[in-house]
Amino acid sequence: MDKYGLIGHPLGHSMSPLIHEKLFALSGRNDSSYELIDIDPADLSAKIDVLRELKGFNITIPHKTGIIPFTDELAESAERYNSVNCISNEDGRFIGYNTDCDGFLRSAELLPLSGKVLLIGCGGVGRMIAIETALHGGALTIAVIPQDIKTAQLVMAEILSKCSEASVRICLVSEVSGEYDMLINATPVGMYPKTEGCPVSDDMIASCLSFFDVIYNPTETTLMKKARAMGKTAVGGASMLVWQAVKAHEIWYGGEFDPEDISGIVLDVEAEVDKMNS
């Protein structure tokens, strides 16, 4: 039996077992297992031998950078972000990947990522989204609260170091204006349990054509509800969560999946989240 898992601390309730078990089933790998492994940062080094018993594993907070010294090789995606969320155990060698970027790009592939893009927030996953958007030709505006201006400036500098011709500017959320092809929320505004929150005004929503919200709980944020009520396209974070897991299976054993089956898993995840909140 091939064993896989997710390491993090604290883990609490996670959608990962549900997602990965469904992906294993689609691949006919019913003898593969997936478990949650809670590891305190102080214990990570002592647990590496335990992790070597796994064929592969995912990594979440706070280990995405802490795991790097224990890798034998980093894929380009992991080097780009200095962050690892997936390890493949290749005959005892740990190869580190970042599949968050794949999850975002596959979730947003039908959205106008190469148009005028307004990104709200740029910490953590927002930094990755900012870089990917700029690298894919988007004219990027990063909107932040005053205390995050310095973070936004660092992300902007990082983007320009990777692509000097990138179009990127910074503004305050309170001063956002104009029309955009796509608005991306990379902040926790609207996340459960404070689901009434919305990162931008109704007028701003009306000025954007399509939306991507990294939040997956609730499955339909206030931002998404308002956008859809205006007849606009809005994609939630459950899609990104599932597609980054799909990439892990492609890495681990060359898994191949039908997009319709993946859409079904996204719906399963959303149903589970809704059940949790009811």
Q: For residue 118, what are the domain limits?
A: 102-235
User: DSSP label at 69?
Assistant: G
What string of pLDDT tens digits covers the 278 residues of the chain? 899 999 999 998 899 999 999 999 999 999 999 999 999 999 999 999 999 999 999 999 999 999 999 999 999 999 999 999 999 999 999 999 999 999 999 999 999 999 999 999 999 899 999 999 999 999 999 999 999 999 999 999 999 999 999 999 999 999 999 999 999 999 999 999 999 999 999 999 999 999 999 999 999 999 999 999 999 999 999 999 999 999 999 999 999 999 999 999 999 999 999 999 98
> What is the reported pLDDT for 159?
97
With 0.85 as the threshold, say if the pTM is over it: yes
Residue type, 239: S
Q: What is the pLDDT of residue 213?
A: 98
The pLDDT, as a whole number, for residue 114 is: 96
Active site residues: 64
What total of structural domains would you count in the chain?
2
Q: Are residues 73 and 140 in the same domain?
A: no
* Residues 143 and 158 grouped into a single domain: yes
- Helix/strand/coil for 66: coil
Same-domain pairing of 230 and 246 = no
Closest CA to 175 of 115, 122, 116, 120: 120
The SS3 of residue 109 is coil
Instruction: Clarify whether residues 16 and 57 are in a common domain.
Output: yes
Pairing mode, strands 86-90 and 93-97:
antiparallel
Same domain, 112 and 206: yes
Find out whether 167 and 159 touch, Cβ atoms under 8 Å. Answer: no
Domain containing 222 — which CATH number?
3.40.50.720
Which pLDDT score, from 0 to 100, does residue 240 have? 97
